[in-house]
Amino acid sequence: MYNDDLRYSKQSSNYIDYTKRKEISMYGKGAMFTQDFSFNFSISLRKSRKHKKFYEIKAPDEKLEQLLNFNRVHFLKYDLDNILSSNVKDLLLYGRAYVEKVLCYDSDNNLVGISFYPFHYKNQISIGKKLYYRIKKYNGDIESGIVEHKNLIIFKLKDLGYSKRYFKRKIKRLGELNLPDFDLYSNQNSGFDLLLYNKRQDYKFLKIMKDVYWNGRNYSNEYVSYPYSLYRVMKFDLIRNKFLEYLLKGYNTALKELGEKYGFSGEIVYESKVEEYDSLINDLKNGKKNCKQVSESIFN
């Protein structure tokens, strides 16, 4: 990453934090939900296969694009999705996501590059205008450091209208769906009632996913009709798009502030297939479009 002729403003650690932490169980549907919710936006929300670009730089010149692509192959094509995915996971699991704005200067103190580094340490605390952290490196050594708040972008789940533990509780409950239901062992002769078990699991799943609309990679839920499953797919995408809008607003605000200081302008924009979802939902409800037509628009 580093070049002797360049100077970086990075204050967060360059090492992975090996501090042991008590995490919620990430297996089964809990893990699948986290993966699906944080999956690459440029793939899952792309308008159609004809649209090759999902993210674009809207700017009067190429200066912002050059700064973001410094030391990279292509920031928008390869890096941005991974950064946003990390942000979403942190919001789901911790209720907050931290990103350090790292600036790169040449020997003449000219700004030549801008990078974004997501992080979340087990031991970190904000006091005043600084974030203090301590990590355990792979060899057992302890590293402590400080990141100034002015160098951070901080995302909060509550800004999106959710409590800090809203998704964490749901992920935990999804993990518990894998546990056996011993009440269904009615007696030794009849054995385990698999059909009843599946019906109960389907019902529990829908209760957990109320207001989130994730289908659980399953389109054969006992209680969900095909039209309603399509509705749920669109609602789930709309929620994820809400996260994407919020995150990009944070990055664009940071870029605007940096641009005012260093003499560049521009923002990251995108086009999403969810732009037509409101009309699709209305057409599905009113019978103007059938399931096949709506499905073709969703899964293009």
Q: What is the distance between the alpha carbons of residues 68 and 83, in angstroms, rounded to a whole number?
A: 13
- For residue 295, what is the DSSP state? H
Q: Dihedral of CA 208/214/217/220: which sign?
A: positive
CA–CA separation, 294 and 280 (whole Å): 7
10-residue mean pLDDT profile of the chain (300 residues): values are 79 91 70 96 86 90 96 88 98 97 96 97 96 95 97 98 97 82 55 79 94 91 92 97 99 98 98 94 95 91
- How do residues 163-186 score in pLDDT, each as one tens digit? 999 999 999 999 888 666 555 555
Instruction: Give the strand pairing for 123-127 and 111-119.
Output: unpaired
User: Domains in the chain: how many in total?
Assistant: 1
* Residue 248 Rama label (left phi>0; alpha psi -120 to 50; beta): alpha
Bridge partners of residue 215, in order along the sequence: none
How much is the pLDDT for 19?
A: 86
C-alpha–C-alpha distance, residues 157 and 82, integer Å: 19
> How many C-beta atoms surround the C-beta of residue 61 within 10 A?
11
Could you tell me the pTM of the whole model?
0.92
| Count of Cβ atoms closer than 10 Å to residue 212 Cβ | 16
Domain span at residue 44?
1-300
Written as one letter, the residue type at 7 is R
pLDDT in tens, 86-126: 999 999 999 999 999 999 999 999 999 999 999 999 999 99
Strands annotated E in 69-216: 96-105, 111-119, 123-127, 130-136, 142-148, 152-156
Q: Are 294 and 284 in contact (CB under 8 A)?
A: yes
Average of per-residue pLDDT values in the chain: 91
